[in-house]
């Protein structure tokens, strides 16, 4: 399974910012450090700001900072804010309606897998995610 580029960037941005979550990060520093296109980064930051993960501070010395601790931000919330979690919870064969009554060949095994995936994403905080990867940035 692969996340969309938008979800990937959002998780990378927040993981980077979580290494020093009380710091104010300039847009320039995020773009340069993570090699993300500026316009794309700003669009993602707008979504993250609207969903109260970060706050945008305007002006010459402005930037972005967390509104809440990375301990209280979960991967499922991040994914839902930028892509919609349903994108990753639907039918893996692409059917619009895939229910127990009208199921595809993958329905039973995917149902178990997606429940495990959702539980993992819902329980994994940003702080836990970066615990062992802090030296990646």
Nearest to 16 by CA among 37, 32, 2: 32
Burial level of 54, CB count in 10 A (0-12/13-18/19+)?
Answer: buried
Q: Evaluate whether 10 touches 44 at the Cβ level (below 8 Å).
A: yes
43 falls within a domain: yes
Number of domains in the chain: 1
136 falls within a domain: no
What pLDDT was estimated at residue 7?
96
Residue 8: in which H helix or E strand, if any?
helix 5-18
CATH at 121 = 1.10.10.10
What pLDDT was estimated at residue 135?
60
135 falls within a domain: no
Tell me the two tokens of residue 79: 């994914």
What pLDDT was estimated at residue 101?
78
What pLDDT was estimated at residue 87?
82
Mean pLDDT over the full length of the chain: 90
79 falls within a domain: yes
137 falls within a domain: no
55 falls within a domain: yes
Domain of 96 in residue numbering reads as: 5-129
pTM for the structure as a whole: 0.87
Q: Give 126's pLDDT tier (boundaries 50, 70, 90).
A: very high
DSSP for 105-121, please give it.
TTHHHHHHHHHHHHHHH
21 falls within a domain: yes
134 falls within a domain: no
pLDDT digits (tens, 9 = 90+) for 24-76: 999 999 999 999 999 999 999 999 999 999 999 998 889 999 999 999 999 99
pLDDT digits (tens, 9 = 90+) for 64-109: 999 999 999 999 999 999 998 888 777 777 777 777 777 888 888 8
Helical residues (DSSP H) of 22-130, grouped into ranges: 27-34, 38-50, 75-82, 107-123, 126-130
* Mean pLDDT of the 124-133 span: 88
């Amino acid at each position: 399974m692969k996340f969309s580029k938008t979800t990937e960037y959002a998780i990378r941005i927040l993981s980077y910012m979580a290494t020093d979550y009380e710091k104010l990060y300039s847009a320039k520093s995020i773009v340069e450090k993570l090699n993300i296109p500026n316009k794309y980064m700003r669009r993602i930051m707008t979504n993250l700001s609207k969903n109260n993960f970060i706050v945008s501070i305007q002006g010459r010395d402005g930037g972005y900072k967390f509104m809440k601790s990375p301990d209280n931000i979960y991967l499922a919330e991040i994914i839902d804010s930028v892509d919609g979690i349903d994108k990753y919870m639907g039918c893996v064969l692409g059917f619009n309606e895939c229910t127990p009554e009208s199921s595809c060949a993958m329905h039973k095994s995917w149902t178990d897998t997606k429940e495990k995936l959702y539980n993992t994403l819902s329980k994994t905080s940003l702080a836990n995610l970066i615990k062992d990867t802090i030296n990646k940035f």
